[in-house]
Structure formats: C-alpha cells, structure tokens
Structure 1
Amino acid sequence: MTVRVINLGLPKSGTTTLAVALEKAGWRVADYRLRRGKCPDPDIAGSFVARQLYDGYFGAGDPLLRLQGFDALSEISVLTRRLCLWPQTDFGLIEALRTRHPDLRFVASMRDPGEMAQSMLRWSDLGTDRLPQGSVPGLPRGYGETRLERAQWIAAHHAFLHRMFAGDPRFLAYDTSDPTAPARLGAHLGLSLPWWGTANSNRQTASGRA
C-alpha cells in the first residue's frame, strides 16, 4: 500500500471530515496521529504524522518513507507545547513529495478564513494559547491571538498553495461546505464517497485536538 493523497489544509478546515469520508470509502487514513491499533507499523504507532514526514524528509529525502501503510494523510500538522510542525507550509518538503512520488495526489480542505479563524478560537486553547505561543510558519510567536491575525495567516496559506500548485492537475482545493465537494474529491481521487458531513465539531472541545 502506498499513500495516494495528502491533505495540505490547516486545522479546522474540515480535516477530520475528510478522514471520516475516506475511511468510510474503505481507505486507511492517518489523521494527526498514528493511532495504536490502526497503524500497520508498531515502531511508529503513537507518533505524529508530522514527525514521521519530517523524519523521512531529513533522514532519507523521502517524507513518506515510514508512512507507506496508509492510503491518505488527512491532518498533517501538530502544535503542542513541545512540538510545532507544519509540513503543509513547507516548500521543500512538498517539493520532495512531488518529485519522489509523481502519482501522489494533493488536496487542500478550505473554509472561509474568517470562519476558520473564529472556529480556531472556540477549539480548546488553539486560538487563545497554542497559536499565539507557538512559532508557526507565517504566524510568529506573539501573533495569532486575534481573529484578524489568524484570518490573514489562513488566507496567506491558501494563496501559497494556489501559487505553488498552479496548473498542476494533481492538486485540488475545495471548500468543505461546498455541496459539490464530495463529487469533486471523488473525481480527483477516483473513488465514490459514501458519506460527507461534519466531524470533530467545536462541541467536542474537551479533546484538545486541532
């Protein structure tokens, strides 16, 4: 099994919705963390997707070196008090993926930047603590506490992806709330999605997931 698609969307853009949809279509998905019991490689079970991407990238030049047991990677960043990794913002890592894996597809789950910024504020301590206190690419420490700062950062990430993948048929950006999103994703990935909805909504704030 080889990774078929990677989502380059930011947290709260619909990454978990994508993960659930692909799992219901029969794909094995790594979402944020390599869950014990679901990860085919016990040596990396429990670690973060972002950590494995960077270990492969810097260790062998191939970000997918240890992730070949999955069909899809739906949430690839991590932001904790000790770890801040954002592969979806990293030009070098993305270029390595495109070069090493010419058949790999990319998608970017998106929502309106203002709505995403507000959603981040309501999600555990993401908007109030972790983003402002982190050193996130494009959002240095001390920024990201206000909705406008987060929205500007989100919009810039969207622009970065559109610029980087301009004219590349392997890339699809979509709005999670767009009724045509499931059909567009299915056509891009060559499968039928039996489910599409809302997963990991802000009602579940106790988990701390982003």
Structure 2
Amino acid sequence: MVKIAPSILSADFANLGRDVKSLETYGADWVHIDVMDGSFVPNISFGAPIMKSIRELSTLVFDVHLMIEEPGRYIEDFVKAGADMITVHYEADRHIDRTINYIKSFNVKAGVALNPGTPVSLIEDLIPNLDMVLIMSVNPGFGGQKYIPYCGNKIKQVKELAEKYNKELYIQVDGGVCADNIKEVVQCGANSIVAGSAVFKNGEIEKNIKVLRESI
C-alpha cells in the first residue's frame, strides 16, 4: 500500500498537537516532519524540541526530513526526539555515506533526498544501504509549489536501481502532489507520498486523505 505522509509544515501551528493527533484518526500512515535551517533552504521551520513535544501524541511513523546543512551534527537530537526515519539531502552533506551509517547505528531507518536538479545516478552506490530515496518534485523551502513534471523520470530511475540491487526501498515524492497527479506519480514507482496543503487545506483532513487514496 502507498504510504500517505502528511507534512505538518502545512498544519495549523496554533493547533499543531490537534492536527498531529487527527492524522492517525483520519488514516494517514506517517507524519512527515520538514526541518529547515534557513541556510540550505530559504526558510526556517522547527527543530527537535517541537518534534519531541508532539511525539507522545501519535503512534505513527515520524518521518523526519532534514533540509539542513551538516545534518550529521543533529542526528542524535532527532533520534532522541522520536524519529523513526531520518532523511538527509545528498547536496547538504559532504560525507553522506558516513551520515547514513550514523543514522542506522541508532536503529533508525535512513533516507537520502535529491533536489530536482540532482541526478539519481549520484546515489547508485548508496542504494543497498538505504531504506528510502526521497525525490523532491519542487525546489525545497516552501509549501504549495507546483509539481515539476520531469521528476517522474527520476522516480522511474530510482525504481530501476531498487530492482537492479533487489532492494526493498521506499521511493518517496515530496512537492506538489495532489489528487490530480498522485496516480501518475505512483505509476512511476512512488510508494510514499508527502502531501502538505493537499491534506491540510480547508481544515478538512479526513476528506482530503480519503480523496488522495481514492485518486490512487
């Protein structure tokens, strides 16, 4: 089954706990947590303390996406805050293999994210040691952007690498996925979908998750 991972970047921050609780009630699979540092991406979101404060409100997988420079410095903080999976950007880490192994040393799943302009071929050697590859289908930093169509080819390339190495891999897509294009994205090979505004728009979380699943 395709995993639906609502990004709480689009939640109501004044009622963050309520929204996190409602994701489990309304059928989400994971909670996607976008961490931004204002350096790697032109925006700042939140850090480990806020994540820790909502961890006890949900039994869902906490899928942590670190859009930050030198992510290896903060891995332990997010593990202690309750991360189940941590994804770091290929472009933000000069020692990506070391960071992947560091994440896995805590018995936490590890993923690598690629910006739209970064070729999939750069991470081929990492595939056997990864649990997830995240294809950014918008330029990271802001919610509500439109899906970049050529990212479909990148999803297919990741799927081909997973098959080449006989690797069970989550192929996650983040950015601009909505009811209008989610079926196409899944047909390309994605099995984990990050959705922010598509889930939280109009405060109709239950309805929006249902629409995404029906559209698949």
Tell me which interval the TM-score lies in, with the shorter structure as reference length.
0.3 to 0.5
Normalising by structure 1, report the TM-score.
Answer: 0.36
Q: Which has the higher contact order (CA 8 A, sep 6+)?
A: 1
Q: Greater strand percent: which structure?
A: 2
